[in-house]
Copies of this chain bind each other. A is one copy, B any other.
Amino acid sequence: MQEISQHIAERLRTLRRAEAWSLDRTARETGVSKAMLGQIERGESSPTVATLWKIASGFRVPFSSLFEPEAVAPGDGAASAERQAAPAFEGDAAGMTAVPLFPFDPVLGFELLVGTLAAGAVSESAPHAPGVVEHLVVVEGELEVRVNGVWRHLSAGEGLRFAADRPHAYRNPGQGATRFHDVIHYPCGTGVTSGVTPVVDAGEASAGSDSSSGR
């Protein structure tokens, strides 16, 4: 039985637990037989897309959420609200620093870096994995970004969105250092260490971790 089916099994159990529905009730709400629901939950069957659609409809959740990791529960985010300190200094030979303020979040599929570039410095960036998108916002100073061979100029407060999966570069044309925020989004299912095999967004959903309270 494949990993994807294990994930769906777990997801269905979670949904059912959350609603406190019996298999019987779930069958009535989803239009999928009780026996089949049981098979799916035990990972004994690989349901068709049509069946999964019925299930999602019955639970009134987005279809894609059947394949997602446990969403950040309303309480969890607040409970684990983390104050990110100003990042420690970290630089490279090109006069460029790029320090994570919010590390890669596999659920949201993004990270936010604080970058700095010394006056006159140029920094080349190798392509990220396919599908990676960056949004830059200049906080202080001047910044130019080369995308598709074209240098684009950004002043403080200005931003630029571009596909980061091809070579690009940064340079600081100003007299002083520049500081910017770099929001990097990775395609769903990939992360900083991108793999090329399809992954269930669950990532490390090893289950068993919440056998108690629902949401």
Give the copy number. Answer: 2
Instruction: Give Cα distance in the complex from A135 to B182, angstroms.
Output: 13
Q: Looking at chain A, what size class is its interface with the partner chain?
A: 35 or more
| A27 touches B (CB below 8 Å) | no
Please name the residue on chain B nearest to A71 by beta carbon.
Answer: B131
Interface string of A56-81 (1 = CB under 8 A from B): 11001111110110011111111101
| A85 touches B (CB below 8 Å) | yes
Interfacial residues, chain A to chain B (CB-CB below 8 A)? 2, 4-5, 8, 46-53, 56-57, 60-65, 67-68, 71-79, 81-87, 101-102, 108, 110, 112, 114, 130-131, 133, 135, 137, 139, 147-148, 152, 154-166, 181, 183, 185, 187-190, 196-201, 207, 210, 213, 215
Given contacts A48-B48, A85-B158, 11 further A-B contacts (CB under 8 A): A46-B48, A46-B50, A61-B215, A62-B199, A63-B67, A64-B200, A68-B188, A74-B131, A74-B165, A82-B160, A110-B110
